[in-house]
Amino acid sequence: MAADLNGKTAVVTGAASGIGKEIALELAKAGAAVA
């Protein structure tokens, strides 16, 4: 992921497993606070 998401908050539904989980992990790696 090329975006710098420091200071941003992302809400991911369905993040317990599957694609939602992977999206949440990538957003967190990019600096977002994941809720």
Give the global pTM.
0.81
**pLDDT at res. 3:** 80
pLDDT surpasses 60 at 1:
no
- The pair of three-digit structure tokens given for residue 13, joined into one six-digit string: 């539904």
pLDDT digit string (tens) for 9-34?
A: 999 999 999 999 999 999 999 999 99
What pLDDT score was predicted for residue 32? 96
Ranges of each domain in the chain: 1-35
pLDDT at 7 over 80: yes
11: nearest Cα among 2, 1, 27, 3: 27
Residue 35 in this model has a pLDDT that exceeds 60? yes
**Residues in contact with 24: Cβ distance below 8 Å, sequence separation at least 6, in sequence order:** 10, 12, 15, 34
